[in-house]
Amino acid sequence: MTSSLISTLTKTSLGRWTTRAIAAFFLGGQTLIHLFSGKIHRRNTVEQMLAVGPSSFGINVLTAAFVGMVFTIQVAREFLNFGAESAVGGVLAVALARELSPVLTAVVIAGRIGAAFAAEIGTMEVSEQIDALYILRTDPIDYLVVPRVLACCIMVPLLTLFSLVIGLAGGLLVATSQYDISQTVFLSSTQNFLGVWDLINAMIKGSIFGGLIAIIGCSWGLTTTGGAKGVGESTTTAVVTSLMAIFISNFFLSWIMFQGLGNAAKGL
């Protein structure tokens, strides 16, 4: 009866997704064990870091710049009505550090890198290259998964910081050119509102999001079946699942990190 129930579940789309989500959970555990045992393929890790970091820098910077400018337009026009233009820079900095930069960077990486992980490993799975690794006595987790997880956990926090800086630069450009807010006032407000822990928390979020993206992308790739069609389905589902994981985990991380009154509110 249990086997028939499992068979029925796996035949539905929700059942297949649940099965693969469970597989991703166990893959994450296996990856941690391999990391703690020091099984790291250095060359693959460096290659993946280059793929995640420098290759994604341009689109991440472009996204951050326009997000910072748009956010400043929306905030500045309202704050000017209340005579609170001195808080524009600080509000933008807090919003970017706590939410916008980590989440948007993760979304960009999920769409670009998570999809690439799922497609690449999925193609290897359906073309039996994964089986060839086993024949060569090479563990796919050591060779494929661990380098990608490490690359995302290291590079996504760095991209998050770059996103924060570029977003602030875009906001400063709009604030000074469109709303005549002094550069000194903007930067002073940023310094007053933004704390060191905001930057640390942003990097922690980025690292966790990066790990989730890598694990989900690799797991969906390793569980791919059905040839080229299966690779396409795995890629799409991996990106959607990564986005869901980012948004859900972001809620719990924000709830843990930012309870109570912030530093800016305490100083009022």
pLDDT tens for 67-97 read 999 999 988 888 887 777 788 889 999 999 9
| pLDDT at residue number 197 | 92
Instruction: List b or e across 71-108, with b for residues whose CB sees 16 or more CB atoms inside 10 angstroms.
Output: bbeebbeebeeeeebebbbbbbbbbbbbebbbbbbbbb
DSSP secondary structure of 196-255: HHHHHHHHHHHHHHHHHHHHHHHHHHHT--SHHHHHHHHHHHHHHHHHHHHHHHHHHHHH
Q: pLDDT per residue over 97-126, tens digit each? A: 999 999 999 999 999 999 999 999 999 999
Q: CA–CA separation, 134 vs 9, rounded Å? A: 29
pLDDT category at 267 given cuts 50, 70, 90 is very low
**DSSP code, position 76:** H
Pick from 17-26, 76-85, 208-217 the range whose average pLDDT is largest. 208-217
Which tokens hold the place of 168? 């602030």
When computed from its CA atoms, the radius of gyration of the chain, rounded to whole angstroms, is 21
| Per-residue pLDDT, 159 | 96
pLDDT value, residue 249:
95
The average confidence (pLDDT) of the chain is 88
pLDDT at 261: 57
Residue whose entry in the numeric block shows the structure tokens 């977003």: 167
Q: What is the token pair recorded at 184?
A: 């000194």
In angstroms, the CA 189 to CA 155 distance is 29
At residue 38, does pLDDT exceed 80?
no
| Confidence (pTM) | 0.89
d(CA 17, CA 30): 20
What does the pLDDT average to over 161-182? 92
pLDDT grade for 154, boundaries at 50, 70 and 90: very high
Domain segments of the chain as ranges: 19-255
pLDDT, residue 6, reads 52
| Amino acid found at 266 | K
CA 244/CA 211 separation, integer angstroms = 14
User: Cα–Cα distance between 213 and 52 in angstroms, integer?
Assistant: 11
Q: How far is CA 146 from the centre of its chain?
A: 17
Give pLDDT, residue 131. Answer: 86
Query: Residue with structure tokens 């670009």?
Result: 112
* 261 DSSP 8-state letter: -
